[in-house]
């Protein structure tokens, strides 16, 4: 059995800007094994956000091959991509993206409710996940009542509840102070030690250095 959870080969992506074509990814090839903690490090404009969108099945490459958890992504339609995205990948964003009128536990249980899981089962699972990220005592607090670091923990719990193969984090410490940033990175290290595959997109060398492997992206190309 192939232990690569992500296999990309010769990925190209460009965008139309009026009459011009702007190349963004220029022949990217990467392999990420199941259970790895990988940081993709690059400055603004390097192509890392586009690469993240393709890894997360939010966007598709113009050419090249992408195999995610044994599935060939290139040939999938929008509905199939949405299904794969919702089942295989848990997303953690810089701005948390929590629903302000929902409590922490309500935010976390929502993905399971949308899948049709019974509310009592989703609630029980959400409480357990919140406990795992150190927030069992904040389950009934709304986002405005939580610190930035606590909100990001809720976001991580929400990403984990569907038991995805991959946790994909886009600048997850970008809105946090140094203390909260360290706590979030320590949580990612803990989750990785528990077996989760983590891909961290960042421009911060200090954050990237905590991963077990760092891939540098510059001008749409990867340098290990």
Rounded Cα gap, residues 58 and 85, in angstroms: 8
Q: Which residue has the tokens 């080969």?
A: 9
Q: Which pTM was predicted?
A: 0.90
Q: For every one of its 224 residues, what pLDDT tens digit does the chain have, with 9 covering 90 and above? A: 468 999 999 999 999 888 899 899 999 999 999 999 999 999 888 999 899 999 999 999 999 999 999 889 988 888 889 888 888 999 998 888 999 999 999 999 999 998 899 999 999 999 999 999 999 999 999 999 999 999 999 999 999 999 998 999 999 998 888 999 999 999 999 999 999 999 999 999 999 999 999 999 999 999 86
Overall domain count for the chain:
1
CATH number for the domain that contains residue 194: 3.40.50.300
State the residue range of the domain holding 149: 4-214+219-223
């Amino acid at each position: 059995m192939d232990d690569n959870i992500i296999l990309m080969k010769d990925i190209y992506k460009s965008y139309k800007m009026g009459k011009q074509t702007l190349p963004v990814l220029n022949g990217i090839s990467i392999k990420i094994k199941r259970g790895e903690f990988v940081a993709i490090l690059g400055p603004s404009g390097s192509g890392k956000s586009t690469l993240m969108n393709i890894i997360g099945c939010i966007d598709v490459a113009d050419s090249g091959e992408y195999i995610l958890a044994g599935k060939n992504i290139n040939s999938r339609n929008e509905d199939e991509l949405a299904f794969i995205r919702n089942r295989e990948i848990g997303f953690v964003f810089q701005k948390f993206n929590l629903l302000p009128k929902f409590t922490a536990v309500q935010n976390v249980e929502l993905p399971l409710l949308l899948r049709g899981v019974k509310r009592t089962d989703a609630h029980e699972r959400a409480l357990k996940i919140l406990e795992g990220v150190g927030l069992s005592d904040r389950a009934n607090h709304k986002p405005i009542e939580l610190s930035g670091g606590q909100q990001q923990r809720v976001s991580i719990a929400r990403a984990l509840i569907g038991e995805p193969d991959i946790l994909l984090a886009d600048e997850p410490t970008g809105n946090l102070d140094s203390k909260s940033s360290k706590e979030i990175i320590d949580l990612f290290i803990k989750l990785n030690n528990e077996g989760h595959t983590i891909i961290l997109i960042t421009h911060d060398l200090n954050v990237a250095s905590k991963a077990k492997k760092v891939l540098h992206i510059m001008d749409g190309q990867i340098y290990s």
